[in-house]
């Protein structure tokens, strides 16, 4: 279905825009943008490429998203906010023990990067494609995810269950290795997402000086 809407331009003139609804709406455009960014890269993709992949008109594409940067920001913001929520929920479900909380956070991080691999990959590889202001906003959002991990590391250090002498570097290493899963994981590989998540939890705990598996 095509819905005719009217918007007012900056000069006050009213202009007609065709906005497809339903399957040819906002979510279809986001999926088309994600698929195209993965295949062609952000700079190799045009708004016409995205519109064609979604089966939408170019006017509808610009109606929902004024530029391909808006599409990229929406994809990146959505997956990062969902990552933060997943990490926090996993931490809170794990109980009070810092090692259990740390392992749960790492598992949640890895699982998201396997289950939403394309979004995570684009979010990490195309951060450079944002302008300075948008990049700063996204870095601040990603820092919130890092703070979830760092908070639990601090708990473990205070309780004496983690003994790593360089917790800042350890936190960065853990976040980096979890994020990198999106670049190499293959669903048909030898390890399922849950198994990869468990292995990474073990690696993270070992890095922090905690013996054995949580």
List, for residues 164-208, the tens digit of each pLDDT value: 999 999 999 999 999 999 999 998 888 999 999 999 999 999 999
CATH 1.10.10.60 matches 2-66: yes
Q: Which residue has better confidence, 84 or 16?
A: 84
Spatial separation of the C-alpha atoms in residues 32 and 193, rounded to whole Å: 25
pTM of the predicted model as reported, rounded to 2 decimal places: 0.85
**Measuring CA to CA, how many Å separate 24 from each of 28, 51, 55, 67, 177?**
6, 10, 7, 17, 37
| 41-61 pLDDT, tens digit each | 999 999 999 999 999 999 989
Strand stretches in the chain, DSSP E: 2-8, 14-20
Residue 8 above 60 pLDDT?
Answer: no
69-207 adopts what CATH topology?
A: Tetracycline Repressor; domain 2 (1.10.357)
The rounded distance, in Å, linking the Cα atoms of 122 and 66 is 20
- Residue 22's pLDDT is 42
- Provide the pLDDT for residue 212: 60
Q: How do the domains of the chain map onto residue ranges? A: 2-66, 69-207
pLDDT band at 20 (very low <50, low <70, confident <90, very high): very low
Q: Would the pLDDT of 23 be above 50?
A: no
């Amino acid at each position: 279905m095509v819905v005719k809407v009217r918007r007012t331009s900056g000069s006050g003139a009213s202009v007609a825009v065709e906005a497809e609804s339903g399957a040819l709406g906002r979510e279809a455009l986001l999926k088309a943008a994600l698929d195209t960014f993965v295949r062609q890269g952000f700079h190799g993709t045009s708004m016409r490429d995205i519109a064609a992949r979604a089966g939408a008109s170019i006017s509808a594409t610009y109606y929902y998203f004024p530029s391909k940067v808006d599409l990229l920001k929406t994809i990146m913001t959505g997956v990062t906010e969902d990552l933060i929520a997943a990490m926090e929920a996993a931490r809170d479900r794990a109980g009070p023990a810092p090692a259990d909380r740390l392992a749960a956070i790492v598992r949640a991080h890895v699982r998201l990067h396997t289950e939403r691999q394309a979004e995570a990959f684009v979010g990490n590889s195309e951060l450079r494609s944002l302008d300075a202001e948008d990049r700063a906003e996204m870095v601040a959002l990603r820092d919130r995810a890092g703070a979830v991990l760092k908070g639990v590391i601090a708990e473990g250090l205070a309780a004496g269950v983690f003994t790593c002498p360089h917790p800042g570097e350890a936190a960065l290493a853990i976040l980096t290795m979890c994020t990198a899963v999106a670049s190499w994981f293959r669903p048909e590989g030898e390890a399922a997402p849950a198994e990869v998540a468990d292995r990474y939890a073990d690696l993270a705990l070992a890095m922090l000086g905690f013996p054995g598996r949580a």
